[in-house]
Amino acid sequence: MAGVTNAAFRRLCREYLRAGVPGTSRPPVPGTGASGTPASGTRLPRTDPAGTGPVGIFVSEMVTARALLERNAESLLLIAHDPDERPRSVQVHGTDPRTVGEAVGMLAGEGRADHIDLNFGCPVPKVTRGGGGAALPWKTGLFAAIVRRAVRAAGPEGIPVTVKIRKGIDEAHLSYLQAGRIARDEGAAAVALHGRTAADHYSGTADRESVARLKADLGTFPVLGNGDIWSAQDALDMVRETGCDGVVVGRGCLGRPWLFADLSSALLGDGHLCEPTLGEVLTIMRRHIELLRDHFGRDRRGTAGDRDGPDGAQRRACRDFRKHVAWYLKGYEVGRRTRSDLALVDSLDAFDAVAAGLDHDQPHPGPPARGPRGRCGSPRPVALPDGWLLSRDVDGLPAVSRCG
């Protein structure tokens, strides 16, 4: 997720999964959690070599293929990984097969990734207006060419490529069955389906029936279910109702890096939930700022450095953290003024000063803290290039499948 799943947040998720989160008696869970938790038989990288816990991958923010090839400083920071982060997963977006192939080849050849995820699920206008994201699978020939180039570029290094899609542009222009078949036939390792169209944006409820239909259509090929995974029970229900091989978590982890511990616990069958007190949440929030400070202090190659200086990195970390405050405090009794003060701090000392005035013993609020969060909104027309829906072809590339 843009602006969220940088190296700092991914590290936080891994830390609290491995060590266990205050507020639960559950012991640390084997394995490292997931933004996607695929079944053990897939061709995806394993994060639990012992095979005693769920397999999972924490995916980077989406980065454009062109920016990678241009070695844009901010883009290299987006794909920065901690030295101990495995697998290193990078999500790539692009609309040109050659450019995507070259970008994936760069990531693979320079040892910058262990897994590539191609994003064809983004519904935001600035992406779909150029024919990218959730708009692109409608052009089946172009979609096939991009997946093919990426798979071939990653193949020599043994790096798996997965594909994330939506149901289609809108209910009148569905493409997920064709896209799933194409991804499988072009050598992808798995496909993740968000059960909404681009027109749905994030409104309403994710359609699990579409995930079930795709899984039934693709048989043994790994399918991951995405959409409205707000809790561990939601993940279990998605797998049970659809037969999918795992889940992909997006907005559900906003302000809850410990959600992956709940997911792993549920998949192992022990049923324990992380229920931190307000004080424990404040400790996690502070740690998040610290990790953001270190992240933004990296140099322009995306490695440890002092790019903005210690004070500049700390100020940037605090600014970036502002969007997380409401997510972390969802359900807790914290006044509007205090929430605002926490969102305006410019240093760790300022954060500590505000946090000191709160009731650290306030217990976890239960269900109110586990519900939906992040973007919702309402359905809206999809911004598309002129004439995009008139044909399944583009630039002379034929539609490779018209079934479904």
| 46-75 pLDDT tens trace | 444 344 455 578 999 999 999 999 998 989
Looking at the structure, tell me whether residues 206 and 96 fall in a common domain.
yes
pLDDT the model gives residue 270: 78
pLDDT the model gives residue 401: 39
384 found inside a domain: no
Helix (H) or strand (E) holding 56: none
Give the tens place of pLDDT for each residue, 234-269.
999 999 999 999 999 999 999 999 998 888 888 888
Q: What is the DSSP letter of 381?
A: P
- Is the pLDDT assigned to residue 392 strictly greater than 50? yes
Looking at the structure, tell me whether residues 345 and 214 fall in a common domain.
no
301 found inside a domain: yes
DSSP string, 191-232: EEEESS-TTTTT-S---HHHHHHHHHHHTTS-EEEES---SH
Strands of the 223-226 sheet, one edge to the other? 59-64, 89-93, 115-120, 161-166, 190-194, 223-226, 246-248
Radius of gyration of the chain (CA): 21
- Is the pLDDT assigned to residue 398 strictly greater than 60? no
Tell me what the mean pLDDT of segment 370-391 comes to. 90
pLDDT the model gives residue 35: 47
Looking at the structure, tell me whether residues 124 and 228 fall in a common domain.
yes
Given pLDDT bands bounded at 50, 70 and 90, which one contains residue 17?
confident
Domain hosting 25: range is 7-274
Looking at the structure, tell me whether residues 292 and 168 fall in a common domain.
no
Q: Which residue has the tokens 């491995």?
A: 18
Looking at the structure, tell me whether residues 265 and 282 fall in a common domain.
no
Compare 80 and 374 and report the one with higher pLDDT.
80
How crowded is the C-beta side of 171, counted as CA atoms within 13 Å? 4
Given pLDDT bands bounded at 50, 70 and 90, which one contains residue 199?
very high
Q: What is the DSSP letter of 187?
A: T
Given pLDDT bands bounded at 50, 70 and 90, which one contains residue 26?
very low
382 found inside a domain: no
- Give this prediction's pTM: 0.87
Q: How far apart are alpha carbons 245 and 220 in whole angstroms?
A: 9
pLDDT the model gives residue 209: 98
Looking at the structure, tell me whether residues 205 and 227 fall in a common domain.
yes
Average pLDDT of the chain, as a whole number: 87
Nearest in space to 145 (alpha carbons), one of 97, 188, 85: 97
* CATH number, domain containing residue 23: 3.20.20.70
197 found inside a domain: yes
Paired with 174 in beta bridges are: 168
Give the tens place of pLDDT for each residue, 321-362.
999 999 999 999 999 999 999 999 999 999 999 999 999 999
370 found inside a domain: no
374 found inside a domain: no
Catalytic residues: 122
Q: How far apart are alpha carbons 138 and 71 in whole angstroms?
A: 30
Looking at the structure, tell me whether residues 190 and 331 fall in a common domain.
no
pLDDT the model gives residue 303: 47
Looking at the structure, tell me whether residues 78 and 162 fall in a common domain.
yes
Name the domain boundary from 274, 298, 315.
274
Helix (H) or strand (E) holding 354: helix 348-355
Percent over 70 (pLDDT), the chain: 85
Name the domain boundary from 274, 289, 316.
274
- Residues contacting residue 196 through CB under 8 Å, at least 6 positions apart: 123, 166, 167, 202, 203, 204, 206, 207, 227
393 found inside a domain: no
Looking at the structure, tell me whether residues 306 and 269 fall in a common domain.
no
Tell me the residue length of the chain. 404
pLDDT the model gives residue 55: 56
pLDDT the model gives residue 6: 94
CB 134 within 8 A of CB 389: no
Looking at the structure, tell me whether residues 178 and 193 fall in a common domain.
yes
305 found inside a domain: yes
- CA distances to 79, 87, 93, 105 from 111, rounded to whole Å, are 12, 12, 19, 10
- Is the pLDDT assigned to residue 304 strictly greater than 90? no
Q: Which residue has the tokens 């290094």?
A: 157
pLDDT the model gives residue 299: 53
Nearest in space to 143 (alpha carbons), one of 186, 173, 105: 186
pLDDT the model gives residue 394: 77
Looking at the structure, tell me whether residues 164 and 270 fall in a common domain.
yes
Least confident of 18-32, 85-99, 207-221: 18-32
- Is the pLDDT assigned to residue 148 strictly greater than 90? yes
Least confident of 127-136, 167-176, 307-316: 307-316
Identify the burial level of 260 via C-beta atoms within 10 angstroms of its C-beta, where 0-12 means exposed, 13-18 middle and 19 or more buried: buried
Least confident of 18-32, 52-66, 170-184, 356-370: 18-32
Name the domain boundary from 274, 296, 319.
274
Number of domains in the chain: 2
- Other Cβ atoms less than 10 A from the Cβ of 366: the count is 10
pLDDT the model gives residue 271: 75
Looking at the structure, tell me whether residues 242 and 346 fall in a common domain.
no
Q: In degrees rounded to 5, what are phi and psi of residue 223?
A: -125, 130
pLDDT the model gives residue 25: 41
Q: How far apart are alpha carbons 328 and 3 in whole angstroms?
A: 16
Q: How far apart are alpha carbons 374 and 273 in whole angstroms?
A: 21
- Is the pLDDT assigned to residue 29 strictly greater than 50? no
pLDDT the model gives residue 18: 67
